[in-house]
Amino acid sequence: MNKVITITRQYGSGGREIGRKLAEAYDIPFYDNEIIARAAKETGFAEAAFERAEDKATNSLLYSIAMGMNVFSNQDAGMSALSLDDRIFLAQSNVIRKVAEEGPCVIVGRCADYILKDRSDVINLFIGASVDSRIQRSIEIDMLPENRAAEIVLKKDKSRGNYYKYHSGERWDNVFNYDMALRSDRCGIDGTVECIRAYLDRM
Amino acid sequence: MNKVITITRQYGSGGREIGRKLAEAYDIPFYDNEIIARAAKETGFAEAAFERAEDKATNSLLYSIAMGMNVFSNQDAGMSALSLDDRIFLAQSNVIRKVAEEGPCVIVGRCADYILKDRSDVINLFIGASVDSRIQRSIEIDMLPENRAAEIVLKKDKSRGNYYKYHSGERWDNVFNYDMALRSDRCGIDGTVECIRAYLDRM
């Protein structure tokens, strides 16, 4: 396996677990929330800084590093209006590019397919599932309250779509973005992992 | 294999050949252009009638049958403005529903996924491929002239998208439409067939 695998997934589809199992099967690194930790570490900020309320400070060290600037050079005041969200996204994008550069890995979420679109060694996967199965899974695995699970699942769908659209300008549900897209509820998490491996191993 | 498999495909992706090979592997019927022939036969019209220039005749026998009407009953004058295209689509839709009712099969194109969306035994596949590989294939297999292949491939993409949109009101490139979507140029026609079988056999 000499590919960088990105996974875009609907909430409750098991896409994260599928990614983790793929990474284990190929013995390659797996990045999900770890990306935030790594981004924080790389940029010299505590992880907590990424979770603070919006910070309007301009020309921050974080932003400079995220933009790949030399922090000792003059900074571009024209970009100072970037929100903390944008700066976090830029910092994460740099981390994603860096781990992809380091070698084969699995990266879940965070528009990784879009961020890495100019690389030729990337395989983009989409994992979905029926709404019913995702509600069920979110109750079982994420312990969502039964009476609110449906509402939360639909809200998460919307916010993931919005996040992708906001940062990439594209629709996350465009089938042409992906090398392979699968509904995980047709043959379960392990069955889905096997199908993806069947595809990757035939390349 | 106890499923009805629909295949939506980009021109030049090999989706039709993949469908034929799947049908052979499972020893189930395969429907593509045959659908037109069958529709024509079922409705008692010569196949050529489907290819005639637009026919504005109202309340035709074909239309009546396509709508599932009793041809001996009073007909609905309100629907008389339907174009020949619409009436052909309706006739084909009835045939698609009929063959799905008869049992497992593979149906390529013609919005079959949309037409059969209320059945629970249907698996919807999407086959795509890179533009470059589709241009190459269209030159080799369909004998398109090299200097016009790119233009024709892009035009076909557009017209298939428009056809789907016109008849279903939906986008054909919506990943949520499909149980599985694959780029066929990643592991070739036979490799893609094997991947799909790996998925179907695990259900």
pTM for this predicted structure:
0.81
Whether residue B69 is predicted with pLDDT greater than 90 in this model: the reply is: no
Helix (H) or strand (E) holding A4: strand A4-9
CA distance B48 to B66: 17
**Chain B: which residues have CB within 8 Å of chain A?**
123, 126, 128, 173-183, 186-188, 191, 194-195, 198-199, 202-203
Asked which of B10-19, B53-62, B149-158, B159-168 is least confident by mean pLDDT, the reply is B53-62
Cross-chain residue pair A199–B182, CB shorter than 8 Å = yes
Nearest CB to B195 within list A177, A181, A199? A199
Sign of CA dihedral B160, A184, B195, B29: negative
Average of pLDDT values for A1-10?
94
Nearest C-alpha neighbor of B202 from the set A178, A199, A202, A27: A199
Nearest-CA distance A7 → chain B (Å):
14
For residue A184, give the chain B residue with the closest CA. Answer: B179
Closest by Cα among B34, B36, B90 to B62: B90
CB within 8 Å: B198 and A203:
no
Residue of A nearest to B183 (CA): A179
Q: Between chains, do B128 and A202 touch, taking CB under 8 Å as contact?
A: no
Would you say residue B80 has pLDDT above 80?
no
Q: What is the DSSP letter of A128?
A: E
Check residue B41 and give its pLDDT.
61
| DSSP per-residue codes, A42-86 | HTT--GGGGGSSP---SS-HHHHHHTT--TTSPP-GGGTT--HHH
From the list A31, A43, A155, A30, the residue with the least C-alpha distance to A88 is A43
- Give CB contacts under 8 A, 24+ apart, made by B46-55: B50/B88, B52/B84, B54/B83, B54/B84, B54/B85, B55/B84
Task: Give the residue ranges of DSSP H helices in chain A.
Answer: 15-26, 34-42, 61-66, 84-102, 112-115, 131-140, 149-168, 188-201
Are the C-beta atoms of B190 and A199 separated by less than 8 Å?
A: no
Please report, to the nearest 10 degrees, the dihedral formed by the alpha carbons of residues A9, B177, B196, B159 taken in order.
-120
Q: Which of B128, B179, B194 sits opposite A183 (nearest CB)?
A: B179
Is the Cβ pair B180, A181 closer than 8 Å? Answer: yes
Least-confidence region, from A29-33, B64-68, B114-118, B154-158 = B64-68
Q: Which of A173, A176, A199 sits opposite B176 (nearest CB)?
A: A173
Quick check: A76 and A88 in contact, CB under 8 A?
no
Q: Which residues in chain A have Cβ-Cβ distances shorter than 8 Å to B175?
A: 126, 128, 173-175, 177-178, 181
- At A121, give phi and psi (nearest 5°): -105, 25
Determine whether the interchain pair A198/B203 forms a contact, defined as Cβ–Cβ distance below 8 Å: no
Encoded tokens for B128: 């795509």
B169-192 residue pLDDT tens: 999 999 999 999 999 999 999 999
Percent of chain A with pLDDT over 70: 76
User: Which tens digits make up the pLDDT trace of A11-52?
Assistant: 999 999 999 999 999 999 999 866 655 665 666 554 444 444
Tens-place pLDDT, residues B134-175:
999 999 988 899 999 999 999 999 999 999 999 899 999 999
